[in-house]
Amino acid sequence: MSNIEDIRKFYARLMAVNAASSDPRLEEVFASVPRETFLGPGPWTIVAGNGKITTPSADPAHVYQNVLVALDADKGINNGEPFLHATWIGKLAPQPGEVVSHIGAGTGYYTALLASLVSPGGSVTAFELDERLAELARNNLEAYPNATVVHGDAVTTPLPPSDIIYVNAGVVAPPAGWLKALRPGGRMIFPWRPAERIPLAMLVTRTEKGFACDPFMRAWFIPCFGASLIDLAAKIPTREQATRSRSIWLTSDKAPDRTATAIFGDVWFSSKSLGAKPDN
């Protein structure tokens, strides 16, 4: 019979291969951070399609698969799909010394992975709106001194200047404050839900010319409180327009033009890449 260390190592290898990351530390942290610590006592409820099943026992081997584990079934809050998070973290490529803001931290599992990757010298501030989950995250992350949990609303609470912003709740557009919090060279990933049937993961990079963006895969997350309602004056994109978005602008810096694929208050999306030549 395999022991739990072997199971974790195999799980970590699967995550690293799926992420196609060149950083060997990604596999190392998936192997070293015990997922079951962040899930509460088993047996656990696994979300499978539109249904749910319960693991046959509290053996942690059951959660070292690419499965969603319910944290609060009534609210639809889960410990997210590991393949997706491995891909996202691989794209962000966290480095030692970097500062991370994690929005929608749940009970802290992916916070712990991020905290491990930015060590030594880096830190993670994890925001969680649900009071019970925030308290659980605080307890779960005691072994990670560079991780701080904030019970609060990351939409209205200023983020620290960040090299990485990792968002685990769907938004119609990133609040202007999130974009402004990105340091030069900073990266943000968020689930973009500009319309009910348009679920995209968006990677944003702050460059010298502005905010480049890349909608790189489908992704479904529960809505982010305070950033998921659409104003009547918004320009809502079609799926094709959304996938053509290549840059994000603050309306205070530049007014929307004919390249606009979506407009939401003080933030708008453009089909023009930052390196593209100006229109004649």
Q: Mean pLDDT score of the chain, rounded to an integer? A: 93
The beta strand positions in 146-227, using DSSP E, are 147-151, 162-167, 182-195, 198-207, 210-218
- What number is the average pLDDT over the span 272-276? 87
Res. 280: pLDDT tops 60: no
Give, as one character, the DSSP assignment of residue 167: E
- At a CB cut-off of 8 Å and minimum separation 6, what does 246 contact? 212, 213, 214, 270, 271, 272, 273, 274
- The pLDDT of residue 110 is 98
Determine the residue type at 84: L
What are the pLDDT digits (tens) for 134-147?
Answer: 999 999 999 999 99
What are the pLDDT digits (tens) for 191-240?
Answer: 999 988 899 999 999 999 999 999 999 988 877 765 656 676 789 999 99
Of 130, 164, 121, 162, which Cα lies nearest the Cα of 149? 130
